[in-house]
Amino acid sequence: MVIYRSFFDAIKELPKENQADVWNAVYEYGFDQNEVELTGLSKTIFILIKPQIEANIKRYKNGKQPKNKQKESKTEAKQKQEVSKSEANVNDNVNVNDNVNKNIPEIEDFVAYALEQSPNVDEDEVRLKYKSWLVNGWCTNKNDKLRPIKNWKSTLLNTLPYMKEKTITSDDRLVAHIKKTLNLKHL
């Protein structure tokens, strides 16, 4: 099972009682694919993490060799053994992840850009979207396929029309009317 830094970053912000619940759910689901009953904030964070765990499980299972694979010939096995002896103590298995995006904005910059582009979007919805992308390794999840976010501003612009708008109360309308009438920018 792969544990991403984004999992840790999202979970560490939770209250202590929720942290244990979410970590337990991550391990339970990651190791045995057992569903764990969660509620509230714990459930919300786990829902964001779960698609990444499922994608990793799928990749792992697809990478396994079939059980009925034909055995290698003795010559092939001997050649591989000789190559591995000659390369003994050489470890060039560098973990390179092309999906890592080093240009992940701070959440406040992300929210500010969203509100600048779409002033009526619900700020909590924007924060939730940021956290979901972070949990997914700064990838979008479309049709259970994770796709790296190359340009977060462009991806966010495409996402904003699908996000709910903030609830405008009569007080908000009154303040907006007064601002407009008095030609004020800030009240």
pLDDT in tens, 55-85: 888 888 877 544 544 455 556 666 656 555 5
Q: pLDDT at position 184, please?
A: 65
Neighbours of 180 (CB within 10 A): 9
| pLDDT tens, residue by residue, 171-180 | 767 777 777 7
Neighbours of 93 (CB within 10 A): 6
Q: pLDDT at position 68, please?
A: 47
Q: pLDDT at position 93, please?
A: 45
140 vs 92, more confident = 140
Q: What is the mean pLDDT of the chain?
A: 79
Going from N- to C-terminal start, the domains of the chain cover 5-63, 107-182
Residue 12 has pLDDT above 70, yes or no: yes
58 backbone φψ class: left, alpha, beta (φ>0; ψ -120 to 50): alpha
